[in-house]
Structure 1
């Protein structure tokens, strides 16, 4: 058996390469630091706090499981399990969000619902990805959020122009207060086809035939 020279020569080299790739991930450093602390079991879990004589009970504050480790807090706690079932996002960002949400209980705050956490992660992930995308020189138009929420009204009409083979089309877009925002009109060839369709429709109705529209 021959040794592949392209492979690391020792386990330490393997970990060195892995950590180099890990720290090169394009996500916020605070999330990478959280993942690093979780890997080395130095997050302030109930077990860790018990070892430091800060708490006397190492049970999970959410489910009561005895011996809250990093793995339990982030993966095996029923609260975390519900979130992982719903998630299809980045692993480290999701783990960090779960830990951040759990800390609300320690600080006397209310715990969010799993679907709320998923939505927050989704929005935050999108913000991070958008911030890292190359920026172009196109002008950004800032719209009034209240204006975007207002309703618009679309009115359309069509007319067959007599003695021609054209159809006149028109459309108007009105704002909620009935002000004209856009108005367009266009002439199209097609009256001959429309006339033919009308003859077919008259032939069907004159014979009391059943039809569907």
Structure 2
């Protein structure tokens, strides 16, 4: 007869609750319990794929199959990191102190608001981030995502015989995070919380919508852009093919760079630049730090901004960026680029009309 529950039947849950009660009676339960709840809640709220959230939870629980854990379970005889051969291969060593991990982090250009000590465990790093004010949610996302890339690379190195370059892992991480965010932004666009009609701009200001597309099968990418006046009339548009493969955020940034140059060449001096990439908008407005893979492009865009009398970067939902999206997709059929001046391309006539006549999601 099990006394931990009224019906006398044993269960793992009842055993767990009994142990917690014993700890409380002995004064062993402390404020860390509420603190750990904040850690788990923070991990659940991260804007990351489920597989990385699960990986983060396992890392915090010391449940990863590192050599240090394997030695404790008497599966291996030593726990020395096979890559650097200097220290025990713990979670934190694998993430931060191994020479290979240091290379990855140096390429990411991430800056932590504290010094990570060698005596810490992985959960100590997460704990510091959770309790730091303001909470560094973007830094936590980068921490877990890069750790995932490092862990995945370590597991596949046995078949490759060598590691990926640090820049390659950072680029892979940036692409994964951007694609995940873009997919979730599109899902949110299907459930509008606020409807806003087409908002005409005050002359002489203009609005340029910009988008990028990736053509994996053709090993190319495309850029689409359209600039309109206060009445929504198309003044200039361009569809450009780029004969190289770029990640999602990279092509969005490259498209914006092309768009800024195109607007200047066409003689527009006061322009709102709109993109459906929230990450790019936040980087250009200084909310987020640019990833290493697009840092040069961002610097080029901001340098061109000094030429204009007025510029502003805004984020528009997917439904509000359809003309630029169509032109970006059309670039697959273009040899180099196609430009339309003071005319509306046939392929975006309907989309442009809908922008003016119907309501759509916009986030200025």
TM-score range for the pair, normalised by the shorter chain length = 0.5 to 0.7
Q: CA shift at 1:144, angstroms? A: 5.6
* Structure 1 match to 2:47: 26
Q: Distance in 2 between matches of 1:183 and 1:28?
A: 42
* Structure 2 match to 1:143: 329
Q: Which runs of 5+ in 1 are unaligned?
A: 1-8, 153-174, 176-180, 185-213
Q: Rg bigger for which structure?
A: 1
* Match of residue 166, structure 2, among 114, 120, 123: 114
Change (3 A) 1:109 1:28: farther
* Structure 1 match to 2:202: none
Q: Which runs of 5+ in 2 are unaligned?
A: 1-29, 111-138, 190-317, 343-364
Tell me if 1:12 matches 2:197. Answer: no
* Match of residue 75, structure 1, among 93, 96, 100: 96
Q: CA shift at 1:98, angstroms? A: 1.1
Change (3 A) 1:55 1:143: same
Output one character per residue of 1:159-193: Cα deviation in whole Å (capped at 9) or x when no partner. Answer: xxxxxxxxxxxxxxxx7xxxxx7577xxxxxxxxx
Tell me if 1:103 matches 2:289. Answer: no
Question: Counterparts in 2 of 1:1-213, with a 5 A limit?
Answer: 10-87=31-108, 88=110, 90-107=142-159, 110-133=162-185, 134-135=188-189, 136-137=318-319, 139=322, 140-141=325-326, 143=329, 146-148=332-334, 150-152=335-337, 182=340
Count residues in correspondence.
Answer: 149
Of structures 1 and 2, the one scoring higher in RCO (CA 8 A, sep 6+) is: 2
Q: CA shift at 1:23, angstroms? A: 1.5
Per the normalisation by structure 1, the TM-score is: 0.60
Q: CA shift at 1:102, angstroms? A: 1.2
Q: CA shift at 1:42, angstroms? A: 1.8
Moved more, 136-145 or 109-118: 136-145
Tell me if structure 2 keeps the 8 A contact 1:104–1:110: no
Output one character per residue of 1:89-129: Cα deviation in whole Å (capped at 9) or x when no partner. Answer: 62211111111111112455542111111111111111111
Change (3 A) 1:18 1:66: closer
Name the Cα RMSD after superposition. Answer: 2.7
